Amino acid sequence: MLQLAILISGRGSNMVKLAKAIETDQLDARIAIVISNQHCAGLAHAVKLGIETKVIERRNFSTRQAHDAAIQDAITSSSADYVFLAGYMAILGAEFTKAFAGKLINIHPSLLPEFKGLDTHQRAIDAQARQHGATVHLVTAELDEGPIILQAELSILPDDDADRLAARVLQLEHHLYPFVLKCLCEGHLTLAAYQVNWHSPDLVIPSLSADRRLIKTLKWPQH
């Protein structure tokens, strides 16, 4: 059984979707702990789901390295096999990312390498991009630079503003992240330090593939 640690900073909607996928799809996985760098709504959702939670606030540590080390200790104590970042709004240092190389996964609301960082939806609109989406990737020391695991893209509509686009991309995230977890559990996907290996690249996400209003295509990493 895969043991997961999930890091959040806000509402935790992707964390909830992962938990629901484990239950609904009977995945051989368990969320061992949800860790946040601040008190947030997502923690209450985790508690309702019966998941252990821990708050490790940055203000209680003199340096980012010390804060990272405390989070690392909590993850290690949980015996987590993978760490999923689900709206974790803090940069993790090189020592932390190295300690979990190949086991640290993030979901980002853009089609990386486009629009790294924050405010991705407004930036995509301002750039007059035709396509936008979400990316699941391995985390490395460089911001939003890790190897891509899987992407889903959609077309930006003429009446999209940042809020409407964000809501549509969040729907992609809610399908994409559980799908990646399912593939890890079932052996369709394996990860190593800086390496992504898909063993069944013809897989589809039925709930997305049936909704052409939402998704344009899945984008598999190129090797």
111 neighbors 133 (Cβ within 8 angstroms): yes
Spatial separation of the C-alpha atoms in residues 80 and 82, rounded to whole Å: 6
- The letter for the amino acid at 117 is G
What count of other Cβ atoms lies within 10 Å of the Cβ of residue 23? 9
Q: Which of 159, 154, 166 is nearest to 130 (CA)?
A: 154
pLDDT at site 85: 98
Check residue 199 and give its pLDDT.
87
State the pLDDT at residue 223. 43
125-146 pLDDT tens trace: 999 999 999 999 999 999 999 9
Longest Cα separation, the chain:
50
- Dihedral, CA of residue 200, residue 206, residue 210 and residue 213, to nearest 10: -80
What pLDDT, on a 0 to 100 scale, did the predictor assign at position 203?
Answer: 75
Distances in Å between the Cα of 123 and the Cα atoms of 77, 129, 132, 162 are 39, 9, 10, 9
| Parts of the chain with a pLDDT under 50 | 210-216, 223
108 is catalytic: yes
Q: Which domains does the chain have, with CATH numbers?
A: 2-219 (3.40.50.170)
Can you tell me whether residue 80 is helix, strand or coil? coil
pTM, 2 dp = 0.92
- Choosing from 108, 121, 137, 175, which is the catalytic residue? 108
Q: Check residue 32 and give its pLDDT.
A: 98
Could you give the CA distance from residue 7 to residue 21 in angstroms, rounded to a whole number? Answer: 17
